[in-house]
Amino acid sequence: MLALTALAAALSAASVMATPMKRAAPGPWCDGLGSGVFDTSSSFTLAAYNTTGPNTDSTGAPLVLGTAGAFQQTQIWHFITEESWGSYPITYPTVSLENGTLILQSDGATPAQATTVDAGNSLEFAARASANPLAGAQIYCAVQGDAGLPLLAVNNDADSFSLCQTTFENAVYYKAAPDRGYDFDSCYPVKLQILFQ
């Protein structure tokens, strides 16, 4: 009987050790965003909800990852409207949020790592063979939105995104500014709504 009790205790301890610990609170990259904030979530897509004009539906314009350029065996991706991407295959169909970094998800695609986001720039990801998605910039959080859907925040800010026209696409920019390579006059404010899969 004593051996059976010891075995049960050992198995119980082993199962507790094998269970991953849940984080009690999001990291410091979410400071100041209020209650209901989180920095880890699995598979979702984003939609740009126009805050000053009409939307085609309650979630806004679906966003996909489009190419923003390439250099030295690195391809840069950023969020653009699905409409401007057209019928091209979608390389990274969903994203996830892991400890404050956005992870692009795809079977067989080149790994991509989130980069820092400065005012006037798009939300970019560097795809290259040596990229470590989990080592991306820890600057992203999700906060509860007014419409019931969570909103993406970057640099502790969910209120400074815009959709702006570039030569070929409508792309998401953070704190859009003139003279940055996109048509600043075409920009309008959006909220980035998280749509769970």
Q: Where are the domains of the chain?
A: 26-196
DSSP string, 61-121: EEEEEEEEEEETTEEEEEEEEHHHHTTS--S--EEEEETTEEEEE-SSSPPEEEPP--TT-
pLDDT for residue 42: 93
What is the chain's pLDDT, residue by residue, as a tens digit (197 residues)? 444 344 344 434 443 333 333 455 899 999 999 888 999 999 999 999 999 999 988 999 999 999 999 999 999 999 999 999 988 889 999 999 999 999 999 999 999 999 999 999 999 999 999 999 999 999 999 999 887 899 999 999 999 999 999 999 999 999 999 999 999 999 999 999 999 98
- Rounded Cα gap, residues 99 and 140, in angstroms: 8
Please say whether the dihedral angle defined by the alpha carbons of residues 27, 30, 35 and 38, taken in this order, is positive or negative: negative
What's the CATH number for 26-196? Answer: 2.80.10
